[in-house]
Amino acid sequence: MASLNPEYDQIRVLVLDKIPFPSLEDAYSHVQQEESRWGVMLYQAPIDKSGLAASHEQPKIIPSDKGHLHCDYCGKPRHTKETCWKLHGRPTRGRGGKRINSSRAQANVAETVETSNETGSGEILSSEEIQHLRRLITKLDSSTIATSNHVQSGTAFTASLNSWVIDSGANRHMTGSTKNLQNYSSCLKEENVRIADGSLTSVSGTGSIICTPDIKLSSVLHIPDFPVNLLSVSSITKDLNCKIVFFPDRCVFQDLETGKRIGSGRLHDGLYMFDGTKDSGQAFFGDNKDVNQEILQWHRRLGHPSFFVLKKLYPSLFLRTQLESLFCDACEYAKHTRNSYPLNNNKSTIPFMTIHSDVWGPTQTPSLSGSRWFVTFIDCCTRMTWVYLLKAKSEVFSCFQVFHKMICTQFDTKIKILRTDNGTEYMNKNFDVYLESNGIIHQTSCPYTSAQNEVAERKNRHLLEVARSLMFTMNLPKPYWGDAILVATYLINRMPLKTLDFKSPLEALKGKNEYIVPPKVFGCVCFVHTRNAGKLDPRALKCVFIGYYPT
């Protein structure tokens, strides 16, 4: 390439800039094609217009005695290697028997074409040489076209006209067909784009394409005969205010404001191809919808079942799609739940090391004592529970003081950790000062995350379930809910629990369970013996059984 004449600088730059670097045959093809444009078919062929000939000249050989000459190539005498016909070919004869200089080595190694070296006379080629050049140029043109077609039909351009390649290297959307373009307008001034091979190509016009109901491509450049449709990553993320997340086998288009998935693409032959492209005249709903839209239609008709269930009902619909590509906004709004918290096995091994607490209420119906709340204190190790009825939430602090003193006195131990939520009944100055003065660490759950205080929350549910069952069995009125809660606490502390290997909390705390099942049922009628009654007065009083003494 360095020996080409200055007229071929553009071809030299084009060949050297190609990625990947072209083969020797491709470089010859480009040079030969350019030379054909310089009028090789003319009857005059000046030497300085030949792009295939080397630009250097051999020194003239001065006639002398050749007897002492010897060729190192063929081994014959009377000539040297520089003028060996077997190595360089037999020189042709010009008009008048003049010998053409054989130092012009051709760049095309397949066939050697030599021109006249007469610089002053402007010799015209013979008819045989012209015919030979015509056949050679025809052969070169046909080989060049074949190479171009091979490049355009290779694996890099196997996408159909309705497929779009997601390209992060393109700064504009490009297409070679006007079939799907809407609002098409021709370019008023010349506009060029540089494609992957480094060459410039002209733009005929611009338009817009509706790919899906959520994705519309605007300012799409129309480049005639462009072999592939390119979807620019930078343009679509800016126009639609979205992001594209790439995975090893697919990519997802997601709206930045709502987080909604608005499109997707799949990896095919090393390229990310956009899914869901539709013709501009085709409806997105009705009889002409694609597979995903048909599945969504059945999903709506059947009352929004899960797509896993829908696949069991209509497996044929899912042959050309995957569950991950299906998404329903209505289901997200209607069925959205928080992820379940993992089970926490971090249980205390020492009684009263950690106390869980929570407040329930208020209830619309006060209890017989006027209470509307109750507070629970649960030992994390034994699950032993203490309940205090409250007339106001501000009584929580005084109830904890009574509970703390009882634990210190009756069990000769100290509470180390108190675990609650962020309620104001726990988060106040008096409570903080008391806990700090007694060396008790206060652990709280995150705001609006009651699942982190799961021990107390589940205990409240258990207490209410038992209390409601007791009241509904005997048809007691609602004001008896306070007594029902206290009875439920008394009974649960003496019933085996699965978390304690089917031991009761009382047995886990004291090492034995001396509880005897009472003969009475909560809410039943009982008769209480009266004292100091007259000789003719009743000896018993008819009552309702509503609880046990706490001890």
DSSP string, 151-216: HHTSGGG---TT-EEEESS-SS-EES--SS-EEEEE-SS--EEE-TTS-EEE--EEEEEEEETTEE
In-domain check, residue 165: yes
User: Binning pLDDT at 50, 70 and 90, where does residue 347 land?
Assistant: confident
Residue 522, Cα to own-chain centre: how many angstroms?
59
User: Binning pLDDT at 50, 70 and 90, where does residue 403 land?
Assistant: very high
Do 492 and 401 reside in the same domain of the chain? yes
pLDDT for the residue 27: 76
Do 359 and 429 reside in the same domain of the chain? yes
Residues with Cβ within 8 Å of 279's Cβ and at least 6 positions away in sequence, in order, are 162, 179, 180
Do 318 and 380 reside in the same domain of the chain? no
Residue 452 has pLDDT above 50, yes or no: yes
In-domain check, residue 298: yes
In-domain check, residue 61: no
Task: Name the domain count of the chain.
Answer: 4
Do 228 and 162 reside in the same domain of the chain? yes
Per residue in 371-380, pLDDT (tens digit) is: 999 999 999 9
- In degrees and rounded to multiples of 5, residue 401 shows phi and psi of -60, -40
Query: Helix, strand or coil for residue 98?
Result: coil
pLDDT for the residue 95: 46
- In degrees and rounded to multiples of 5, residue 248 shows phi and psi of -60, -30
Per residue in 476-521, pLDDT (tens digit) is: 899 999 999 999 999 899 888 888 888 889 999 988 877 777 778 8
Q: Encoding tokens for residue 178? A: 């006007």
pLDDT for the residue 36: 67
Domain-ending residue, one of 332, 366, 401: 332
In-domain check, residue 520: no
Residue 98 has pLDDT above 90, yes or no: no
Question: Is pTM beyond 0.85 here?
Answer: no
Residue 417 has pLDDT above 90, yes or no: yes
- Give the residue among 392, 541, 391, 545 at the shortest CA–CA distance from 483: 545
Do 177 and 237 reside in the same domain of the chain? yes
Whether the Cβ atoms of residue 228 and residue 176 lie closer than 8 Å to each other? yes
- 46 or 21, which is more confident: 21
- Give the residue among 144, 155, 150, 110 at the shortest CA–CA distance from 26: 144
pLDDT for the residue 144: 36
Mean pLDDT confidence for 247-269? 85
Cα 124–Cα 122–Cα 99 angle in degrees, nearest 5: 75
Do 419 and 495 reside in the same domain of the chain? yes
How far, in Å, CA of 62 to CA of 111, rounded? 30
* Structural domain boundaries, residue 12: 6-56+103-151
Whether the Cβ atoms of residue 108 and residue 54 lie closer than 8 Å to each other? no
Domain-ending residue, one of 121, 151, 181: 151
Question: Distances from the Cα of 250 to the Cαs of 46, 183, 267, 273, 319, in angstroms?
Answer: 59, 31, 5, 9, 18
250: β partners? 266
Do 238 and 137 reside in the same domain of the chain? no
Whether the Cβ atoms of residue 31 and residue 51 lie closer than 8 Å to each other? yes
Whether the Cβ atoms of residue 375 and residue 390 lie closer than 8 Å to each other? yes
- Give the residue among 443, 240, 271, 238 at the shortest CA–CA distance from 356: 443
- In degrees and rounded to multiples of 5, residue 19 shows phi and psi of -130, 120
CATH number at residue 444: 3.30.420.10
pLDDT for the residue 100: 47
Do 299 and 409 reside in the same domain of the chain? no
How far, in Å, CA of 146 to CA of 163, rounded? 25
In-domain check, residue 534: no
Residue 200 CB neighbours (<10 A): 8
DSSP H stretches of helix in 209-273: 233-240
Whether the Cβ atoms of residue 487 and residue 522 lie closer than 8 Å to each other? yes
How far, in Å, CA of 327 to CA of 314, rounded? 17
- Total number of residues shown for the chain: 551
Mean pLDDT confidence for 164-180? 84
Residue 154 has pLDDT above 70, yes or no: no
How far, in Å, CA of 318 to CA of 295, rounded? 8
HSE on the CB side for 489, CA within 13 Å?
A: 23
User: Binning pLDDT at 50, 70 and 90, where does residue 182 land?
Assistant: confident
In-domain check, residue 221: yes
186: β partners? 205
Per residue in 189-248, pLDDT (tens digit) is: 778 887 777 778 888 888 888 887 778 888 888 888 778 888 899 888 888 889 999 988
Q: Tell me the chain's radius of gyration from C-alpha atoms.
A: 48
pLDDT for the residue 229: 86
pLDDT for the residue 428: 93
Mean pLDDT confidence for 432-449? 92
Do 370 and 483 reside in the same domain of the chain? yes
User: Binning pLDDT at 50, 70 and 90, where does residue 288 land?
Assistant: very low
| Backbone φ/ψ region at 83: left (φ over 0), alpha (ψ -120 to 50), beta | alpha
In-domain check, residue 318: yes
- In degrees and rounded to multiples of 5, residue 27 shows phi and psi of -65, -40
Mean pLDDT confidence for 329-349? 77
Average pLDDT of the chain to the nearest whole number: 77
Domain-ending residue, one of 243, 263, 282: 282
- 9 or 261, which is more confident: 261
